[in-house]
Amino acid sequence: MKKYITLDRKEYNIDTFPPKEKALYERVKSYYDNNKPEWIEFANFWMAHLHLSGIEDDYTREEIIKLPIWDICNDLEGRIGIALGFVKEPEDKNAIYETGEIIRKV
C-alpha cells in the first residue's frame, strides 16, 4: 500500500485514488522529491498539473478542494513553506516526524 500522511496526520491510501488523481500524485510527488523546488515554483507546478490532469472535467471546484489530492498538494507546498521559514510549523512537532518524512532543509 502506497500511503501519504499529512503534517496534520491525515492518512491517504494512494492505491485507492482514481486514475487521474493517482497520476497527478505521482507527477507532483516526483517533482517535489527530485527537483527541490522553491515554494512559488512548486505551487505553480501542482496547480498547472491539476488543470492539465482532467480532474476538473470530473468535479466542480467546490468538490476539488475537498479531494485528498488537493490536501496532499497543499501539504507538500506547506512543507516547503515551513522549510523556508515562511510558514509556522505545526504546534505538535512530533507530527512532522510521524509522517515518515522529515521536512527537507532548503
pLDDT by residue for the chain (106 residues), tens digit each? 899 999 989 999 999 999 999 999 999 999 999 998 999 999 999 999 999 999 999 999 999 999 999 999 999 999 999 988 887 776 655 544 444 454 444 3
Find, among 75, 71, 68, the residue nearest to 95 by Cα: 75
pLDDT at site 54: 95
**Number of Cβ within a 10 Å radius of residue 79:** 22
Which residues are paired to 5 by β-bridges?
Answer: 11
Query: Which SS3 state, helix, strand or coil, does residue 34 take?
Result: helix
Distance CA 20, CA 41 (A): 22
pLDDT at site 12: 97
